[in-house]
Amino acid sequence: MATLFEESTIAGMTMRNRLVRSATWEGMCDHDGRPTEKLINCYLDLANGGIGLIVTGYAFVSPEGRQLSGQMGLHREDFEADYKSLTSSVHEAGARIAAQLVHCGGQTDTANAGRRPLAPSAVDVDQFPETPGELTKREIDGITDAFGEAAQRARAWCFDAVQLHGAHGYLINQFLSPHTNRRTDEYGGSIEDRSRFLFELYRKVRYAVGDDYPVLIKLTASDNMEGGLSSEDALNVAKKLSDAGIDAIEVSAGTPASGEKNPARVKINKPGDEGYNLEEARRIKEAVICPVMVVGGFRSYEVAENAVRDYGLDYISMARPLIREPDLANRWHRGDRRPATCISCNGCFMPGLKEGGIYCVVEKNAQAKEAKD
């Protein structure tokens, strides 16, 4: 029977436990996407805190796919030394690290993309800041090439794996979802055609890194909105990804337009509020042969352990709790099984925009008050 604190392996990548730091934007890179010493120290804190696998914040594969200031980029060869410093620091602390690759598509704006955003279709929807341009076949090919090139850099720069961001309303999800994909060519219509972009991209990434290197995906199990990607279509995609050789699927759900069922929900105050993607993750786990990770409001050791022991999930992913407590894994491993102190307020993201890096504002305010008293 699997437990949280046991060694495990994904496609040759061995991790010291089944706890994963799920990707979140940190806002700690230079404007061009180059990682800073601040970001390296952030990941070093996570690695020293006992987490098994760190998935980086979403790294854009080409400049027009950038969404926010301080976002990571894996589009330039001259970032090599900076990224090798980052990966070596994590490895020296005993953790593994995967680079999450993204193109934000219509979920960015002209100011950050440097041009009119691009998406599967030129549609006005709530999750798009402005009306994007519809991607041409040539532009689609250029983006899938960019994913392959970014993955090749990640492997060369000693990342242990790459993860494709196929969730939360970004470009892969935009193609999968009928809400944002209204195309009438070979990339739109049925789920087989709406997933064509993803599988073309995956094949290029796999070719770039080889069969012996872990390629993961963060996949939306449902858009949680009327007219969006359904759980049935997402399950279909998950099965095909598993058959195609994907090495692990991290299950999430929702988009910024999904209301209360968005990816980062607030007011997680009791165990019953936690693990809000567990049922969808179990459905996918029962249908695939690859390992399955699940993210979504985990705060309690018992809920996380139950997801592995009773639900049969392979890995538990968390993001916001580790912003406040990067050493949460070590605390639980030592036997202090109190829940994470994160209160799910989402206040941690504002400093990333205003101060050049996310942090827990509740913790910082408490420390300031204590120092004042």
- Whether 157 contacts 142, CB under 8 Å: no
60 forms beta bridges with: 73, 102
DSSP string, 19-43: EEE-------B-TTS-B-HHHHHHH
Q: What is the DSSP letter of 56?
A: P
Q: Let me know: does 244 contact 210? Beta carbons within 8 Å.
A: no
**Alpha-carbon separation of residue 84 from 9, 63, 77, 141 (angstroms):** 23, 21, 12, 29
341 burial (CB, 10 Å; 0-12 / 13-18 / 19+) is middle
Q: Is 358 part of a structural domain of the chain?
A: no
Q: Using an 8 Å Cβ cutoff, are 110 and 169 in contact?
A: no
Task: Show the domain range for 36.
Answer: 8-347
Tell me how far CA of residue 149 lies from CA of 13, 31, 144, 202, in angstroms.
Answer: 21, 21, 9, 12
Tokens representing 267 are: 């007011």
Sort strands 19-21 and 53-55 into parallel, antiparallel or unpaired.
parallel
Question: How many Å apart are CA 296 and CA 318, to the nearest integer?
Answer: 7
CA-nearest of 126, 168, 161 to 277 is: 168
* pLDDT score of 98: 98
Residue 360 lies in a domain: no
Q: What sign does the CA torsion over 132, 75, 257, 279 have?
A: positive
φ, ψ of residue 206 in degrees (nearest 5) = -60, -40
Residues annotated catalytic, as ranges? 170
Instruction: Let me know: does 214 contact 245? Beta carbons within 8 Å.
Output: no
Q: Give me the number of domains the chain comprises.
A: 1
DSSP 193-251: HHTHHHHHHHHHHHHHH-TTS-EEEEEES---STTS--HHHHHHHHHHHHHHT-SEEEE
CA atoms of 136 and 129, how far apart (whole Å): 21
Question: Per the domain annotation, does 2 fall within a domain?
Answer: no
Spacing of C-alpha 159 from chain mean position: 15
Read off the CATH number of the domain in which 323 is found.
Answer: 3.20.20.70
Rounded to two decimals, the pTM is 0.97
- Residue 363 has a pLDDT of 85
For 47, the token pair is 């690695």
Within a domain: 316 = yes
In a domain, 368, yes or no: no
Q: How many angstroms separate the Cα of 82 from the Cα of each of 37, 98, 161, 234, 361? A: 9, 15, 17, 36, 28
Cα pseudo-dihedral 92, 217, 207, 108, rounded to 10: -100
Please give the structure tokens belonging to residue 120. Answer: 């599967």
pLDDT value of residue 367:
79
Say how many C-beta atoms besides its own lie within 10 A of residue 207's C-beta: 12
So what's the pLDDT on residue 151?
98
| Contact between residue 281 and residue 221 where contact means Cβ atoms under 8 Å apart | yes
Q: Is position 367 within any domain?
A: no
pLDDT tens, residue order, the chain (373 aa): 678 999 999 999 999 999 999 999 999 999 999 999 999 999 999 999 999 999 999 999 999 999 999 999 999 999 999 999 999 999 999 999 999 999 999 999 999 999 999 999 999 999 999 999 999 999 999 999 999 999 999 999 999 999 999 999 999 999 999 999 999 999 999 999 999 999 999 999 999 999 999 999 999 999 999 999 999 999 999 999 999 999 999 999 999 999 999 999 998 989 999 999 999 999 999 999 999 999 999 999 999 999 999 999 999 999 999 999 999 999 999 999 999 999 999 999 888 888 889 999 988 887 777 777 6
Query: How many other CB atoms are there within 10 angstroms of residue 93's CB atom?
Result: 17
Is residue 270 in a domain? yes
Q: Give the whole-angstrom CA distance, residue 191 versus residue 129.
A: 26
Q: b/e for 309-336, b at 16 or more Cβ within 10 A?
A: eeeebbbbbbbbbbbbbbbbbebbbeee
Is 373 inside any structural domain?
no
> How far is it, in rounded angstroms, from Cα 50 to Cα 118?
39
